[in-house]
Amino acid sequence: MQSIEIDPELNRLALVEAAEKYPEYAGRALRVVARPLYQGFAWQVEWEGAPPSGQQAWEFQNTAIRAYKRLAKITE
């Protein structure tokens, strides 16, 4: 399985975009990561400390991942 190199600038832009919708998570999100699986990747947001819980935290993560994929022109 080939790995994906995460572009630091696109990562920053994706987190900024997600923080515009969910500002309460802005300071806690460190980066978007793509962990290789047998087929494809598991996309996640790495958090400072324990990850937050709840629907809004999931929405922040999903928004950041979608933004990163769009900015990096990644289609899966």
Two tokens at 10? 């696109």
Average pLDDT over residues 7-22: 97
Please check the confidence at residue 23 and state whether its pLDDT lies above 90: yes
- pLDDT bracket for residue 2 (50, 70, 90): low
- Rounded to two decimals, the pTM is 0.91
Q: Can you tell me the distance from the alpha carbon of 35 to that of 16, in angstroms, rounded to the nearest whole number? A: 21
Average pLDDT over residues 25-29: 91
Please check the confidence at residue 46 and state whether its pLDDT lies above 90: yes
Q: Can you tell me the distance from the alpha carbon of 73 to that of 75, in angstroms, rounded to the nearest whole number? A: 7
Please check the confidence at residue 1 and state whether its pLDDT lies above 60: no
